[in-house]
A and B are shown apart, each in its own frame.
Chain A
Amino acid sequence: MDVDAVHAVASELRGQLAVAPLSLDLPGVDRARTIAADGVRQLDDYVLPRLANLDAPALAVVGGSTGAGKSTLVNSLLRSNVTRPGVLRPTTRAPVLVCRPEDIGWFDDHRVLPGLSRVSGEAHGTAEISLATSPALPPRLALVDAPDIDSVVDSNRAMASQLLDAADLWVFVTTAARYADAVPWEFLQRAARRGVVLGIVVNRLPPAAGEVVDHLREMLAEHGLDGTPVFAVDEQPLTDEWIADDAVRPLRTWLGALVDDQASRAEIVRRTLTGTVADLAVRADSVAAAVESQHEALAHLGTIAHETFDAAHERLIAEVGEGAVMRGEVLARWQDVVGTGELLRQLQSTIGRWRDRVASALTGRTTGTERLQEAIEHSVDVLVRAHAATAAERVAASWRAHPAGAALAAAAPEPLDRPSPQLSERTERLVRDWQGSLLEMLRVEGASKRTTAKALSYGVNGVGLVAMVGVFAQTGGLTGAEVAIAGGTSVAGQKVLEAVLGDQAVRSLSIRARGDLNLRTGELFAAEVRRYLDLLEAVPGTAHDAAAALRDTARRLAQLVRR
C-alpha cells in the first residue's frame, strides 16, 4: 500500500464528501447525508492521522451497551480506577483515553480525534475526552472507555459511534441480558464491514450460562464474524470495584499478544486501516449514487417545468392561429365598428376620426375602435393567463408528486400552482408593447415607401387596427374572410376584411406581427418557467458534477488499497 498516495486520495475524498450536494429531500437522502458526514469524520478522526503516523500506538476502544460494565472492565484490566463506574445509566457520559505515560505525546495534541478537546480530569462536555495514563497497559496500546451505544442520551450514542469509527481495534462489551439486542448488532455489522480487529466480552454472565456464549458464537457466525474471540466474564461480587483478575486475564493476554511486537501491531493497524479505507470507498460510492439521483431529480423537475410551459405556449399559439381571439367579444366589437361604418371613416378621413373623437368626448362614450382594441387586449390577456395558469397547475401537481419537488414546492415563497402575481401586469404590458411595435413597423414601412399608397392612405392607427385583426383572423394559409364566415360575421364585415387584407402589404405585416406576438408570449412564458428554475438553481451545490468526481475518487482509493 502506497501510504502517501492513499493519503492524497483520501484527503481528496474528504473534501468531496464534505461538499457532496445532498440538499434535496429525496427518499434515502438522510442515510446518504449520514454516510457522508460519518465518512468525513472518520477520515478526520482516524484515516488521515493514522496514514500520517502508521507507528503511533494502537487505539483500542471499549464500547458497548449501557450497563454492560465497560468502565468496570477497563478499571479491572488496568487494576486502577481511571474511569468511574456506577449504577446510574448511562454512567460514562464523556470518554476516557488511557495510554502509557511515554505515549501521551501521541494523544495530547490533536492528531487523532481532532474534534475532541483534551482534559486531564473528568470530562463533562459533549466534545471532550479526558486523558489518563497507566503503566499497566501493554506497550504501544491505548484504551478508550467509550460512552454507551444505546441509552437515551443522544450525544453518548454519537460519541460512541465516533470513537468506534476511530478505533484500530474494538473491545465490544455486552451482557447475558443484552447480547441479542438489536442496537449492538448494528454496530457489530459495521465492524464486520470495516474489517476491524474485534474482541467481544460477555460480562455479567449468570452461573451456568454457557449456552449464552454458544448462542452468541452462532449469531456472530450468522453475521459473518465467525472466529471473533469471545471472553466470558461471570457475574461476581467486585473487590475494590474490580472484577477478579482471573476473569479479565484472557482479555488482557489477547490484547497484549496483539500489540506484543512491532510486526503484529503493524499488522493490526494495517488490517483495520485497509478495511476501513475499502469500506469508505464503498460508502463514498453510495454517496455518489445519492448525489447522482439529486442531479437527476433536479434535471427531471426542470424538464417538467420546461416541457409543460412549452406545451402550453404551443397550445396558445395554435388557439390564436385558429382565430380564437377573433370570436366572441372581439368579433362583436369588430362588427360594431364595421357595421356602423366607423372603420371606413377611420380609414379614409381624418375628419371622420375627429368627429368620432368629438362625439365620444361629448357623450362620454368610447368609440367602437377603442372598444375593439380593448376587447383584443382583454382576450389576449385572458388567453395568456389561462394557459399560464394551467401550465403552473400542471407543473405544481407534477412537482408535488415528486418527493424532492414536494419539499421545494412547500418551501416556495409563493404558491407554485398559480402563475406569478406579476403575470397580469406583464400580459397587459405585452399587448401594449406589441401594439406599439406593430405601429412602429407600420411607420417604418411608410417611411421606406414600401407600403402601397392605398394602405398608407388609411392612416397608421386605422391600418394598425386592421392589421391586428388580421393577425387574429388570418389562420395559416386561410384568409380573414373564411374565419369571419366561420365566426358568423356579417357580409359587410367580410367585405371590409377581404378588401383590406387583400392588400399584400397588410397581409405580410399581419404575418410579421403574429410572429412578434408569438415571440413576446414565448418570453412571457419563459419568465414563468424561470420561477421554477430559480427554485431549482437555489438548491446549493448543484452546479458541478460532483457524482462522477466522487465515484472516480472512490474507485482510485479502492484500487490503491487493493494493491
Chain B
Amino acid sequence: MSTRSDRASARAIDDLDRRLQALEELVAVGEGRLPTDTHSRAAATARNARARLGHGGAHTVVAIAGSTGSGKSSLFNAIAAADLSSVGIRRPTTSAASAAVFGSEADALLDWLAVPRRHRLDGMRAATTPGGAELDLSGLVLLDLPDHDSTVAAHRAEVDRLVQVVDVFVWVVDPQKYADAALHDDYLAHFAGHSDVSMVVLNHADVLDDNDRRRALDDLRQLLVADGMGDVRVMATSASTGHGVDQLVTELAAQASARRAFVSRLAADVDWVASDVATTIGAAPAAEVSRVARRRLELAFADAAGVAPVAEAVGKAHRVRGSAATGWPPARWTVRLRPDPLRRLGLDRRSGAGRRRAGSARKSAGDAAAVARTSRAAPDAVAMAKVDNALRALVDDTSAGLPTAWRDGITAAATPSRADVTDALDRAVGAADLATERPRWWRAAGSLQWLLAAAMVVGLAWLVAMGVVAWFGLPDLPVPHIGALPLPTVLALGGALAGLLCAAASRWINAAGARRRSAAIKRQLTRAVGVVAEELVVGKVDAELVALRQLVDLARRLA
C-alpha cells in the first residue's frame, strides 16, 4: 500500500518536474515576449516551485490564515496542543508568522520560508478529547500567519508573501466575518485552483447553536462555490471548546503523512501560470520569413548596394579593357580617353586585389571583415527608403495576427541600423571579385593585331619607299606580286582590313563576354546581398519566430 502510494507520489513529482522544466524554459524564452507581469509571475512561480521541490516532501507546511480576530492563534495553539502563540483581545494580535514544527527539525525549509520564530514539538500529539487516539503529526510544519484585513498594511504583505510558498492553506473564518470581501475576493477566489490543498474552517462555532451553525456552514459553502472553490473541505471548529479540532488535526496528520500536498500545491501553481500564459499567448507564427518578403528585401538591398550599376560597370570595363587589349592598334588611344567605369564607381582599387582573392569572394561578409570600405557614394535616399519599406512589409507579413508584444519583437529583429546596412552592403560589394578576367585569346588577338599592324606598316613603308624611288626616277624596286596585286599593297590594305575585321570580331566577342561577365557579377553580388539580408534581418527574424513558436509549444506543454 505504502509502496504504491510512494510510486504514485514519485510519479507526481516526475510529472511536476517535467512541467517545471517547461515552465523554466518558458520563463527563459518568454523574457520580453510575455507581458511583464505574466512573465514575472511565471518566473517567481518557477523559482519558488524549484526551491520548494528541492526541500522535498519530508515536511508539509500548513498555513493558518484568516481575518483579524477569527481565532487563528488560538486554533494554532489548539492544533499544537501547546500554548505557543499569544492570544489577545487587542487587534490585530499576531504581527509576524510563527512556526510549530512536529518531529524532525525543518530549519532549512523555514529559513527558505523566512519564518524565524519556531517551536519544536514532539511528533506524537495527544488527543484533545478523552478517549481519542494519539496522532502522528511528524513532518507537519504549522504556520500562524498574521491577519490580512487589519489597518496594519505590513501584516497583509507578510500574508501575501507566505501564501505564495506554503503547501496547505487552512483559511480560518468566524461567524461574524465569513462573508468578508477582503477574504473572498482577494484570497479565496484567487486560490480557487488550490482547493485540494485548502480547508476552510469556521472557527468560534461555539457561539452558534447547532441549527444556526448548519445554516452558516451552508451559506459559507455557497459563497465558496461562488469563489470557484466548491470542492474545498469546510468544517466548523471551536478553539475554546475543542469542537472539531480533532477532525482538523486528523486531516492535517493525513496531509503530513501523505507527503504529497506540496506537489499538489505546486502543480496548482503551475496550472495557474499555464492558464495565465494561455490567455496572453497568440497563435503560432509562421516558421520563417516568407519567400516573397525575403525576395522583396533582397531586391531592395540589391538596389541600395547598387548591384545593377556595378554589374553594368563591370561589363563596360570588360569591353573597355578588351578593346584596349584587342582593338585595332591605331585606334586604341581613344580608349584611354574614356573613363574607367569601375574607377568612376570607386571600385577600381579592387582590380588588383580581387585577382589575388579570386575564389574566396563568395564567402559571407563575416569572412571579409578585413575588406576596407570602397570609396563609393553612400546609397541614395530613395534606395534606403525602399529598404525601409521592404523591412516594414516583412514585419507586416510575418507578424500578421500576432499579439502586439510579439510584433514588437519581430520589428526589433527586423530593424537593423542604417549604418550597419550600408556598411554590410558596401563590404559585400567590396569583397566581390570584380576584376576583369583577361581571356587568354586577348593576348593572341592582341599579338595578331600587332602582327597585322606591323604588316600594314611594312606594306605602307614599302609603298612609300616605292613612291620615293619612283619620284627620284630611280629604277623600280623588284616588287613581288601575289596574284595580280603587289605585295606591299596586299600588306598595307590587307593588314588594315584584317586588323579592322579582327577588331570588329573581338569587339563582338568581348560584348558577349561583357554580358556574361556582367550577369555573373550580378549573380555573385545578388548572392552576397542575400547573405547580408540573411545576416542582418532574415536570420534574426527567423530566430525570433523560432523563439515564439517555442513559446507557443511550451505553453501547450505546460497546460
Contact = CB atoms under 8 A, between A and B. Distances in A.
A89 B382 contact: no
Contacts of A322: 381
Interface in B315-342: none
A176 B389 contact: no
Contacts of B119: none
Contacts of B182: 150, 181-183
A464 interface: no
Contact of A151 (B69, B180, B208): B180
B389 A324 contact: no
A153 B226 CA distance: 11
A49 to B, nearest CB: 30
Contacts of A67: 175-179
A219 B185 CA distance: 27
B382 A215 contact: no
Nearest to A67: B176
A372 B119 CA distance: 91
Given A150-B180, A182-B149, A219-B151, A386 B385 contact: yes
B380 A327 contact: yes
Nearest to A332: B309
Given A206-B89, A209-B89, A152 B180 contact: yes
Nearest to A488: B344
Nearest to A383: B385
Question: Which of B68, B91, B382 has the most chain A CB atoms closer than 10 A to its own CB?
Answer: B382
B177 A66 contact: yes
A177 B70 contact: yes
B498 to A, nearest CB: 32
A215 B68 contact: no
A325 interface: yes
Contacts of B345: 488
Contacts of A157: 181
A90 B208 CA distance: 16
B385 A418 contact: no
A176 B89 contact: yes
A328 to B, nearest CB: 5
Contacts of A387: 385
Interface string B174-197: 111111111011000000000000
Contacts of B489: none
A386 B90 contact: no
A151 B181 contact: yes
B490 to A, nearest CB: 41
Contacts of A215: 90-91
Question: Which of B69, B179, B212 has the most chain A CB atoms closer than 10 A to its own CB?
Answer: B179
A418 B89 contact: no
Interface string A312-335: 000000010010110111101000
Interface residues of B, number: 50
A400 to B, nearest CB: 8
Interface in B215-233: 215-216, 219, 223, 226
A382 interface: yes
B433 interface: no
Interface string A161-204: 00000000000000111111111010000000000000000001
Question: Which of B152, B180, B182, B389 has the most chain A CB atoms closer than 10 A to its own CB?
Answer: B180
Contacts of A206: 89
Interface string B295-309: 000000001001011
Contact of B380 (A176, A180, A324, A385): A324
B386 interface: yes
B177 A325 contact: no
B504 interface: no
Contact of B181 (A88, A150, A327, A330): A150
Nearest to A90: B179
Nearest to B176: A67
A415 to B, nearest CB: 9
A83 to B, nearest CB: 18
Contacts of B70: 177
B176 A68 contact: yes
B382 A327 contact: yes
Interface string B33-76: 00000000000000000000000000000000001111000000
A441 interface: no
Interface in B404-443: 404
Contact of A180 (B150, B175, B208, B219): B150
Interface in B128-165: 149-153
B347 to A, nearest CB: 12
Interface residues of A, number: 51
Nearest to B222: A88
Given A87-B175, A177-B177, A178-B69, A328 B92 contact: no
B389 A382 contact: yes
A324 B381 contact: yes
A405 B446 CA distance: 74
B246 interface: no
B535 interface: no
A65 B176 contact: yes
Contacts of A390: 388
Contacts of A386: 384-386, 388-389
A463 interface: no
B69 A328 contact: no
Contact of A182 (B151, B344, B383, B384): B151
B382 A379 contact: yes
A175 B177 CA distance: 11
A87 B208 contact: yes
A389 interface: yes
A410 B403 CA distance: 11
A478 B177 CA distance: 86
A48 interface: no
A64 B474 CA distance: 148
B396 interface: yes
Contacts of A418: 392, 396
Interface string A381-420: 0110111011000000000000000000010000000100
Interface in A96-135: none
B382 A324 contact: yes
A212 interface: yes
Contacts of B216: 87-89
B385 A152 contact: no
Contacts of A379: 382
A178 B177 contact: yes
A436 B386 CA distance: 25
Given A67-B175, A177-B68, A488-B344, A382 B382 contact: yes
A418 B382 CA distance: 19
Nearest to A235: B207
Interface string B348-384: 0000000000000000000000000000010011111
A65 B176 CA distance: 9
A4 interface: no
Interface in B513-539: none
A65 B382 CA distance: 71
A176 B182 CA distance: 18
Nearest to A87: B212
Contacts of A185: 151
B381 A319 contact: yes
Given A150-B182, A182-B149, A211 B176 contact: no
Question: 6 smallest A-B Cβ distances: which pairs?
Answer: A177-B69, A67-B176, A386-B385, A180-B91, A89-B179, A324-B381
Given A87-B208, A177-B91, A182-B151, 10 more contacts: A66-B180, A68-B176, A88-B219, A89-B177, A151-B179, A151-B181, A177-B69, A177-B176, A183-B181, A215-B91
Interface of A: 65-68, 87-90, 150-154, 157, 175-183, 185, 204, 206, 209, 211-212, 215, 219, 319, 322, 324-325, 327-330, 332, 379, 382-383, 385-387, 389-390, 410, 418, 488
25 contacts: A66-B179, A89-B176, A89-B178, A150-B180, A152-B179, A157-B181, A175-B176, A177-B67, A177-B68, A177-B177, A178-B69, A178-B176, A180-B68, A181-B182, A182-B149, A182-B153, A212-B89, A319-B381, A322-B381, A324-B381, A324-B382, A325-B382, A327-B380, A329-B303, A418-B392
